[in-house]
Amino acid sequence: MITVRVPLGQRSYDVLVGHGARRELAGLLPSTAKRAAIVTQQAIPLDIDVGLPTEVFTIGDGEAHKSLATIEALCRGFARFGLTRNDVVIGVGGGMVTDVAGFAAASWHRGVAVVHVSTTLVGMVDAAIGGKTGVNLAAVDGIGGKNLVGAFWQPAGVVCDLDALATLPPREVRCGRGEMAKYHFLTGDDLLAMDEAERIARCVEIKADFVSSDERESGRRALLNYGHTLAHALEIATDYSLAHGEAVAIGLIYAATLAHQLGRIDQVRVDQHYEVVGGHYELDTALPAGVDRRQLIDLMGRDKKALGGGLTFVLDGANGVEVVTDVSPDAAGDALDAMLLK
Ligand SMILES: NC(=O)c1ccc[n+]([C@@H]2O[C@H](COP(=O)([O-])OP(=O)(O)OC[C@H]3O[C@@H](n4cnc5c(N)ncnc54)[C@H](O)[C@@H]3O)[C@@H](O)[C@H]2O)c1
């Protein structure tokens, strides 16, 4: 078992990584808890026993269920169960479950402890760590969006039980690898050279480092969005037929191409991006057929991570990866063209 500490002062917590790690879960719960509300999904194979009276709340699968309606249903369930502020919510699932369970916990009685048992690769290396919780706002009259309603609510602990990965569909594994490829460029670490437990623990450590230096994303934590500006646009433009991690992989290539167009990196560094993302991580690097250039530029301009007036990207350069504001739509379009010509 590997334990990674997320250092956040009074909100510090441990992340346990290993096969069978769920059996250590009880040790992460607050001592005040007399009941546990387990939030999970039908397809999640892990059984959890923490030696407390528990009730299992099963939420729907897919982004449409990552909604305020789900939060309301959970809170009604917590009320029926008699969950108090001293008790605990346990999110057992991938990023969708831990985002929803975390936000329900942040809101219930103005905040009850939450512990996550992460069951996907994306969850383990990214979503379960760092305290960002939330749901989507369904579009009404064209207004709405992903993860627009939420709270920063750090878990009291996280379990990454590698047993869960045995049943994970290959596409979900690919999504996790997209985020890992991102960590490769943020740190230079050869994550694929490590064994599975070390690799996941190292990803947790990298995320924890960014989170602990900038818990509320007012600066350095934004670098975790490397590859994400185009990725978010691609997810929307393809109506989410491209999964997040797959879109991040293409977004990393795009960020390198754009950095090259802006004179920030040389062609050798762009080629390294292709080698790492396409070669090592075996992810698709090409823009999907039929995407509309104009629409992608518009969507990138509306990205909620955008700061200020022009387009904002996280880009590689002589000083490493950094936030670059006020990129012109023409430069953004030229980089798309360069990828389409490749
Ligand atoms: N809070 C954050 O910092 C953060 C970071 C990244 C992503 N996210 C969010 O995470 C979500 C994506 O998370 P995800 O990629 O884990 O997807 P997910 O949670 O939607 O899970 C994908 C699918 O795998 C199933 N599943 C989960 N564990 C399984 C297992 N062990 N075996 C078999 N099937 C299993 C789920 O039921 C679901 O059908 C998005 O909503 C995204 O916005 C949040």
The structural domains of the chain, with segments of one domain joined by +, span: 2-168, 220-341
Based on the residue annotation, tell me whether 207 is a catalytic residue of this protein: yes
Does the Cβ of 167 fall within 6 Å of ligand 1? yes
- Name beta bridge partners: 118: 93, 160
Atom from ligand 1 closest to the CA of residue 130 = 3
- 110-127 per-residue burial string, b: 16 or more CB within 10 A, e: under 16: eebbbbbbbbbbbbbbbb
Based on the residue annotation, tell me whether 34 is a catalytic residue of this protein: no
What is the model's pLDDT at position 184? Answer: 96
Report pLDDT digits (tens) over 167-208: 999 999 999 999 999 999 999 999 999 999 999 999 999 999
Which residues fall within 8 angstroms of residue 175, CB to CB, at 6 or more apart? Answer: 120, 121, 122, 243, 244, 245, 246
Residue 308 has pLDDT above 80, yes or no: no
- Ligand 1 centroid to Cα of residue 85, in Å, is 27
What is the model's pLDDT at position 139? Answer: 82
Report pLDDT digits (tens) over 120-178: 999 999 999 999 999 999 888 878 788 899 999 999 999 999 999 999 999 999 999 99
Pick the CATH number of 2-168 from 3.30.920.30, 3.40.1640.10, 1.10.3720.10, 3.40.50.1970: 3.40.50.1970
Based on the residue annotation, tell me whether 132 is a catalytic residue of this protein: yes
Average pLDDT over residues 99-127: 98
CA nearest ligand 1 atom 5, residue: 127
Report pLDDT digits (tens) over 19-51: 999 999 999 999 999 999 999 999 998 789 999
CA nearest ligand 1 atom 30, residue: 168
CATH architecture of the domain formed by 220-341: Up-down Bundle (1.20)
What is the model's pLDDT at position 193? Answer: 96
Choice among 66, 232, 260, 273 that is catalytic: 232
Predicted confidence band of residue 309 (pLDDT cuts 50, 70, 90): low
Atom from ligand 1 closest to the CA of residue 175 = 15
Q: Give the mutation target among 59, 92, 99, 120 for probing the ligand 1 site: most ligand atoms within 8 A of CB.
A: 120
CA nearest ligand 1 atom 16, residue: 94
Residue 268 has pLDDT above 90, yes or no: yes
Q: What is the pTM of this model?
A: 0.95
What is the model's pLDDT at position 132? Answer: 98
